Amino acid sequence: MARALLVVDVQNDFTEGGALAVDGGDAVASGVSRLLAERAGDYAVIVASRDWHDAEGDNSGHFSAEPDYVDTWPVHCVADTEGAAYDPLLDTAAITHHVRKGQGRPAYSMFEGTADDGATVAEILAAHGIVEADVVGIATDHCVRASALDAVSHGVHVRILTDLVAGVGEDSSAAALAELAHAGAELSESGA
C-alpha cells in the first residue's frame, strides 16, 4: 500500500524567532530532516505545505492588528518573504510536491492549497494511490490538525508522528491529538 509523508508548514515564521513562533519548531524541522535522510524511500510522495499569504490587504480577515489567535492573526508567511520560506533546518531535497495555501484567504489545511502545477493534495494522493499518510509539522493544534482531519475525510489512514509535531498550546495540542485519534488517526513516534 502506498504511503505519503505530509509535512505541514515547517516555515521560518512558525519556528523560533518567527512572527508566530512555536516552541519546538526548529526541533521539528531537524527531526523531519532526519526522518527523510533515513526513510524517504518509504514514501511514494512527500508533500510539504507552506502558508503563503498576500502582502496587500488582510487576506480576507486572516490578518489583524488586534488578533484573537483563533480566527485572526498577526501578519505572517507573506509570499516571497523570509518568513514564508522553509525553516533552514528542513532538508527539502526529498520533497516531491510543494503546496502553497492561503493566497488571499484563511487556510489551515494543506488540502486547501495547490502545488505549482495547480494540483490539490487530494489529487496528488489519488494519482499516486495513497492510502496511508504520516503527518508531521506545525502547529499541532491548528494546521496539522486541519490537514490530518482532511486526510482522514479523504479515506487516508493517517498516522501522526507525535515527536515531529509542535503546537501553540499544550492543552490545545493535546485536545487536537485526542480529536485526531477519535477521528481514526493513529498516534505514533517516528523513531527518527
- Residues belonging to the active site: 9, 101, 143
Question: Do residues 128 and 15 make contact, with C-beta atoms less than 8 angstroms apart?
Answer: no
Question: Do residues 156 and 180 make contact, with C-beta atoms less than 8 angstroms apart?
Answer: no
CB atoms within 10 A of CB 116: 9
Q: Is 98 helix (H, G, I), strand (E, B) or coil?
A: strand
Please name the residues in contact with 106: beta carbons below 8 A apart, sequence gap of 6 or more: 59, 60, 61, 62, 71
CA distances from 90 to 19, 30, 72, 86, 177 (A): 18, 6, 27, 7, 23
* Strand ranges in the chain using DSSP code E only, listed in sequence order: 2-8, 45-52, 97-102, 114-115, 130-138, 157-166, 186-188
| C-alpha cell belonging to residue 65 | 492588528
